[in-house]
Homo-oligomer: A and B are copies of this chain.
Amino acid sequence: MNQQINHSSIKLIIICFLFSIISANNPLRINNNRLNKHLSELSKFGNNEFGGVSRVAYSDADLNGREFVMKLMKTAGMDVHIDAGGNIIGTLAGKNNDLPPIAIGSHIDSVPEGGNFDGNVGSMSAIEVAQTLRESKHTLNHPLIVVIFQNEEGGLFGSKVMTSGLTELELELQSSSGYSIRKGIQRIGGNIDQLEKAKLKKNEWVAYVELHIEQGGILYNENLDIGVVQGIVGIKQWDVMVKGFANHAGTTPMDQRRDALYAAAQYVQAVHEIGKNTPGKQVATVGKIKSFPGAPNVIPGMVNASLEIRDLDGKKINSIYKNIKSSSENIAKNTGTEFKFKQTINIIPEPTNRRVSWAINQAAQDLQLSSKFMPSGAGHDAQEMAVICPIGMIFIPSKEGISHSPKEYSSPKDIANGANVLLHTVLKLDEQYSEEN
């Protein structure tokens, strides 16, 4: 990779160095109390008995939450509109509104029985950044956009509208609310006939930066403040079928069995151990398993299972898969069974932009926060936005790595840290990209 330290890299290093001098002592900070008050108010829309929220996209709770968000945006001084795809877009004017905007944001829809931090932290912080800039009379050179994407949890539908668009098939899918995506978009104030108008042109935004809870335990366990996301992992999934021979569990001696579950058990262990022992940050998971016929007194003749592999590097995913497959072939040979792998999902890895990530990391350093470069193991709207502009993501610790659960939690201090890093990243990008134009 040494050959790649070329002119553009040197220029980048110099720019970053200059910024660090310029903004290291910038005293601007978000209003921690207000941010946490907004988070707490938002958590009332769709709150459930477990202390979390069920605010699935297009539900009444979602509609009410969106109303609340738009009110906050207006209070923060933004022009607010809903695009044809149902995304909420607030714009804070810059000094030069001919420049393309810098965009920040997240989502406020939740999974069923979800928590109060996934999406909410990034959404409320983005509004807080705008409000802080406005109050402090720090007008950016670029306009600032705060975007609240619709239906992130259902499959990044809001960001897809802005990039590749939605197919007829996708529009007919049923969401967790019970409404189809089509009906849902209409419900939240989108315009299904004008969906094309919501699409962004390449580089229509300077960059998109999203603050999010980590949803894993790395920062929490290593006691770090900020994760600088290197990229959003690629995901491949397979349906795995193990075929043996069903037989009477009482009359078939142990050494005459072709037990599909005994083979599948070795496969589950191989997946875990290859995933764990291969150097790197890949993860490999068997989440689903079921034996057939599934009676205590019948040796399983068939097992259906899953396989999921995630990594920042698509080639790594393939090599892990190759190892698992070859291991399964050995298991099959030793157990008189057969393995079949059928790929079902293929999401390619999406690296974040180096310049944006360096700005995030520098912002963390300026604020004297500890940080770490790390992959995002979960999918985010940012990966869709990477199609049209440079992206970056900021992670804050999730207590015990829990997410998609009423138990998910990030502390007010960590949330304030993240919001301040977001604020200073925006300041850095504004300066950096102004220099270039």
Contact = CB atoms under 8 A, between A and B. Distances in A.
A344 B296 CA distance: 11
Nearest to A398: B251
A273 B378 CA distance: 38
Nearest to A220: B256
A5 interface: no
A72 interface: no
Contacts of A307: 296
A138 to B, nearest CB: 34
B300 A217 contact: no
Interface in A253-267: 253-256, 259, 261-262, 264-267
Interface stretch (A40-48, A166-174, A200-208, A242-250): A242-250
Contact of A287 (B291, B379, B404): B291
A267 B289 CA distance: 14
Interface in A232-290: 233, 235, 237, 247-256, 259, 261-262, 264-269, 272, 275-276, 281, 283-290
Given A237-B296, A289-B261, A217 B402 contact: no
A216 B296 contact: no
Size bracket, chain A contacts: 35 or more
Given A221-B256, A268-B261, A308 B296 contact: yes
A313 to B, nearest CB: 15
Contacts of A293: 287
Contacts of A275: 254
Nearest to A405: B246
A310 interface: yes
Contacts of A285: 249, 259, 296-297, 299
B272 A269 contact: no
A21 interface: no
Interface in A215-232: 215-218, 221
Given A249-B287, A252-B401, A253-B281, 15 more contacts: A216-B256, A248-B378, A249-B310, A250-B377, A250-B379, A251-B376, A251-B403, A254-B276, A256-B401, A264-B265, A265-B265, A285-B299, A287-B295, A289-B290, A296-B345
25 contacts: A216-B252, A217-B253, A233-B250, A249-B283, A250-B283, A251-B378, A251-B401, A251-B403, A252-B377, A253-B283, A254-B272, A262-B269, A262-B272, A264-B265, A265-B265, A269-B269, A285-B296, A285-B297, A285-B299, A286-B300, A287-B297, A288-B291, A289-B294, A290-B291, A297-B308
